[in-house]
Structure 1
Amino acid sequence: MASEEIGLDDVLHSPYTQQLVAGFRMLRFSPVLEGEYRQYLLEESVDLKRVALFLGIILWTSFTVLDIALAAPGNLWATLLLRMAVLSPLLLTVWLVHTRTHLPLLQVMSHVCILSLGIGGIMIIGNAHQSQPNFPYEGLFLVCMAAYFLVGFRLIEALVCSTIIMLVYLSVELWVQLPTHQLINNFVFMANANLIGAVGCYLLEFKSREHFLTKRVLSLQAEQDSLTGLDNRRSLGRIFTRLWRQAKRESYPISMLLCDLDFFKQYNDSYGHQAGDEVLVRVASILNELARRPLDVAVRFGGEEFVLIYYNLTEAEAVQRAELLCHTLRRVNIEHGTSAATSRVSVSIGVAMIQPHLNEHFSDLYKRADDALYKAKEQGRNRVVCSCPC
């Protein structure tokens, strides 16, 4: 099929385009898109979480050296025990990141890790401040910055974690009776650091959401036919690969209906390309009606050629769908005075089927359907021919 130039207007009715137009200053999409975006963010942030996790383990362990150098002798063992306790959730998360499974649990553990690092650090600082008021607390800034920038959190997630850390810090320092002027100074610096982190996180999430929507719109432009709204030839291979994997797991057949409008070039020559486009849109509407199940696929394969892919149909059912398509198009009753097959727009269909346990591929299924379509044309068009013993 010749490449077609598709603009933003062609996908104007997609939810992604509508969300781009509506905006998302509050960092929130419509419910369906919000769920899709969160799943996308979860999958895209796994590598980022891996880097942050190993960096966190290295830094947390290296601070042990500072503890040995700076902590009072009476506090050292309690400090080292806290360090070891915080390492436990981090090491569990290493396994989750490595396997890339249980992504929802990985997200939960990311929250646990940030809070463990923050609260664990606060316990160490509070313990030290009982006897050493000048023991450094600035390591908490690193934890908060990690929440904003290094673990793939949305702004609301980072804010919740950082706010909890700030409130726990305030409570612990009040409990150990840190001098008021020092507590105010420390808390103001921490609050300002979190403000900077929150602004940066907002901008990052805004761009992330914009990238998500733009990527989806471009995907639609690349894989959707601009005239009919059907999937195009480019997307068929990807769709079939996904169906083939599922069919192999479940041992279900896949059927292909290869459809070609009869003498359509003559129709365009006689009635004009505008009328021809209207026919293609009508045919696409019929195909959509015949591909209603979740795994059914309707594709504009090129020009006047269309493909229907059916999952888990018997041979007889596949032929029945093809006959229904022929009958429905005849019933639409579009005049075609230059057709040698009939006086109305009609379609020839080749039907083929493959089983997933056989060593076959998309090209084998397409060749069978194409051979059957060729026979349908040889036999006078406006008919269905099946390549299998239907």
Structure 2
Amino acid sequence: MYMDVPSETSINLKKLRITLSMGGLLILSFIGIDLLLLPEVLHQAYYISRLGIQFPFLLTLYLLTFLSNYHSLHKHVLWLGVLGITYGNFWLLVQCWTQAELVFAWEGTLLYGLFGMFILRINFIYSLMYAVLSLVGFAWIIIHYPIYGEIGSIKFGFMLCGFAVSLVGVKQIESGFMRFQQLNNQLLYLNQIDPLTQLYNRGAMEQNFERMLSIAARTNTRISVFIVDLDNFKDFNDGYGHLRGDDVIQLQAQILRQIFNRETDMVARFGGEEFVVISLGNTNEEAKAQAARVLAAWQHKNVAHGKGSGQRIVSCSIGFINTEVDKSTEKKRLFELADSALYEAKNRGRARYVSATSCELAPA
């Protein structure tokens, strides 16, 4: 069934590309300033770090967003890309020391982490992996090179504390976002679902019908529109009470849900005692068989009626259209045909189905 609820893993690729582009521009903008501060002997190493390591990592992340399956790669590639940029900075730290005994700023490493965690929104698990591997790399540098002398452990402590605070923040933001997402999905669900039957309501049916009609036209797939109406329901409601009436409506929903149970079927309560089913991919004969099964289910249930209408048991009438469609087909026209067929079923004595013929799709 078609549910119009956004996925928790949905990604705004446009915003992500803009963010990555800004990151690339920041790296390029630092080059001019840093080169003024660095001795000429380190310029080559600096170019390799920025243009040969960091910028290609960022460019690769940007280009990957154009892959059709990027959504499945998103979680994995972002943190690895930021880690690669970080280790590019580590490499520069070592080169500055070994070539000129220059202490290059280590704070950039923490900034890369903050960029990944809070701007690119790397999730907590991958942020933790990034922090651990970054700390391992920084610890290796401190142990093997006396860049920071006696205060190396203090520098490491600052980085450790920075990552720890950042991870707490990431966890809090992630938890808050998940709670918000769950509440938002619940609200969307409640806005689309009929509370009595747990079927789609009319508004959700209208939205999803547009989508299904478009799919049918694009893929040259037949579409069926069923309108199902309980017979003499007002008499039943007046005679047995609204609670019993609600039971019958729920029973009708259960019958339809059992018969129209494919991913390409959509069952909705249109209003009152009227239901709508939209189905893709079935032939006219299959649609007739499904309608017959709905009628037979009520015969099998054998729910007593007999309140003022002369009707012995509860039943329903069905009108439907099964046809091929194209881009010019309007859902209003399909509804009109199915509704006319339902009206004909009522006129013929109820408790039956009537099929509108495909030739009736010609303009009215």
* Fold conserved between structures, TM > 0.5: yes
Q: Does 1:287 align with 2:256?
A: yes
Q: Does structure 2 retain, via aligned residues, the 8 Å contact 1:147–1:161?
A: no
Distance across 2 between alignment mates of 1:364 and 1:129: 77
In structure 2, the partner of 1:146 is: 115
Q: Does structure 1 retain, via aligned residues, the 8 Å contact 2:319–2:341?
A: yes
Q: Does 1:111 align with 2:79?
A: yes
Q: Does 1:335 align with 2:304?
A: yes
Task: Return closer, same or farther for 1:174/1:133 CA change in 2, 3 Å cut-off.
Answer: farther
In structure 2, the partner of 1:238 is: 207
* Superposed counterparts of 1:1-390, under 5 Å: 40-41=8-9, 43-85=10-52, 86-97=54-65, 102-130=70-98, 131-338=100-307, 340=309, 342-357=311-326, 359-388=328-357
Distance across 1 between alignment mates of 2:121 and 2:325: 39
Q: Does structure 1 retain, via aligned residues, the 8 Å contact 2:86–2:109?
A: yes
Q: Deviations over 1:217-252 (max 9, x none)?
A: 111111111011111111112222332333234311
TM-score by length of 2: 0.90
Task: Return closer, same or farther for 1:66/1:127 CA change in 2, 3 Å cut-off.
Answer: farther
The DSSP-based 3-state class of the residue aligned with 1:348 is strand
Q: Deviations over 1:37-91 (max 9, x none)?
A: 9x623x2353553343123112211221233122232221021022112211322
Task: Return closer, same or farther for 1:208/1:48 CA change in 2, 3 Å cut-off.
Answer: farther
What letter matches 1:297 in structure 2?
Answer: M
In structure 2, the partner of 1:8 is: none
Q: Deviations over 1:332-357 (max 9, x none)?
A: 01111136463111101001123233
Q: Does structure 2 retain, via aligned residues, the 8 Å contact 1:341–1:382?
A: no
What letter matches 1:380 in structure 2?
Answer: G
In structure 1, the partner of 2:362 is: none
Gapped regions of structure 2 (runs ≥ 5) = 360-364
Task: Return closer, same or farther for 1:69/1:134 CA change in 2, 3 Å cut-off.
Answer: same
Q: Does structure 2 retain, via aligned residues, the 8 Å contact 1:267–1:276?
A: yes
C-alpha displacement of 1:266: 1.2
Q: Does structure 1 retain, via aligned residues, the 8 Å contact 2:142–2:152?
A: yes
What letter matches 1:305 in structure 2?
Answer: E
Moved more, 304-313 or 54-63: 54-63
Q: Deviations over 1:177-223 (max 9, x none)?
A: 32442211211111111111111101110011101111111111111
Distance across 1 between alignment mates of 2:309 and 2:286: 29
Equivalent residue pairs, number: 353
C-alpha displacement of 1:168: 1.1
Distance across 2 between alignment mates of 1:189 and 1:51: 31
TM-score by length of 1: 0.85
In structure 2, the partner of 1:7 is: none
